């Protein structure tokens, strides 16, 4: 979702190849593109970039005019740290609340450590909004890579109806209103494939 939302929201054209997961959530056919066999992978000049953060950095390099990181160097450092924290962390939340846009699972996924992740994310969002968000409704005002990075968490907070402080809820609403996120959500709702490993709460 993260590189897709980034490219789409920034109006950068790309060709999408959709791969499907088996019941163990193994990506079928990904090894044709990616040396790790994992997705996402972006091909640039027939060369794979096989990690979502690396893809976003590469896209920012390729399209400097799109201003995908904040202009201010202090804000940019924090945006990078926020993305790195998302990339490497929040394991409890990610394990207990798999992303599932077409489901509504209020109250599910309250495993140990999840509430701490929710509180840390809410505090991070509030801090970015208060320090850097004056120019818009997103973490650094206008849309940046940081918003693409937190979009899957926004989806989880919706699916699992996580109660949030008002600043975090306002940010959730702003991300959901992005046209690229709307498009991704519509495509997710239209999917009918069922992947058991990703739907632990299915009846
Ligand atoms: N660090 C990688 C993680 C990639 C990753 O774990 N991808 C999962 C989907 S989110 C995957 O490809 N799973 C399929 C598999 O394990 O075969 C990134 O963020 O790009």
Query: Do residues 93 and 47 both lie within one domain?
Result: no
Give distance in angstroms: CA of 26 to centre of ligand 1: 9
Ligand 1 atom closest to the CA of 40, numbered from 1? 20
Residue 96 vs residues 2, 86, 102, 115, 160: alpha-carbon distances, Å: 20, 16, 17, 11, 10
Nearest by Cα to 154 from 75, 90, 200: 90
Entry pTM: 0.97
Nearest by Cα to 55 from 120, 145, 126, 115: 145
Query: Do residues 95 and 46 both lie within one domain?
Result: no
Its domain, for residue 55, covers: 2-65+193-198
Query: Do residues 164 and 117 both lie within one domain?
Result: yes
Cβ(25) to ligand 1 under 6 A? Answer: yes
Separation CA 19–CA 197 (nearest Å): 16
Say which residues have a Cβ less than 8 Å from residue 40's Cβ, sequence separation at least 6: 2, 3, 4, 52, 55
Give distance in angstroms: CA of 40 to centre of ligand 1: 7
Q: Mean of the per-residue pLDDT values for the chain?
A: 97
Give distance in angstroms: CA of 38 to centre of ligand 1: 4
3-state secondary structure (DSSP) of residue 21: strand
pLDDT at 203: 78
Residue 175 has pLDDT above 90, yes or no: yes
Separation CA 50–CA 63 (nearest Å): 19
CATH of the domain at 168: 1.20.1050.10
pLDDT at 81: 98
Residue 128 has pLDDT above 90, yes or no: yes
Query: Do residues 58 and 132 both lie within one domain?
Result: no
């Amino acid at each position: 979702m993260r590189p897709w939302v980034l490219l789409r929201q920034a109006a950068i054209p790309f060709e999408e190849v959709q791969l499907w997961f088996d019941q163990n959530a193994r990506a079928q056919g990904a090894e044709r593109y990616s040396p790790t066999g994992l997705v996402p992978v972006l091909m640039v000049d027939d060369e794979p970039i096989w990690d979502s953060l690396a893809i976003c950095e590469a896209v920012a390099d390729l399209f400097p005019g799109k201003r995908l990181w904040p202009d201010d160097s202090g804000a940019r450092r924090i945006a990078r740290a926020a993305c790195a924290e998302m990339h490497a962390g929040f394991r409890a939340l990610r394990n207990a609340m798999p992303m599932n846009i077409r489901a509504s699972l209020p109250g599910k996924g309250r495993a140990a450590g999840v509430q701490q992740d929710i509180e840390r994310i809410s505090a991070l969002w509030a801090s970015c909004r208060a320090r850097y968000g004056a120019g818009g409704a997103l973490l650094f005002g206008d849309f940046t890579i940081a918003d693409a990075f937190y979009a899957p968490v926004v989806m989880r907070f919706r699916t699992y109806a996580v109660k949030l402080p008002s600043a975090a809820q306002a940010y959730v609403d702003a991300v959901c209103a992005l046209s690229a996120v709307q498009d991704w959500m519509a495509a997710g709702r239209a999917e009918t494939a069922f992947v058991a490993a990703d739907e632990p709460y299915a009846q």
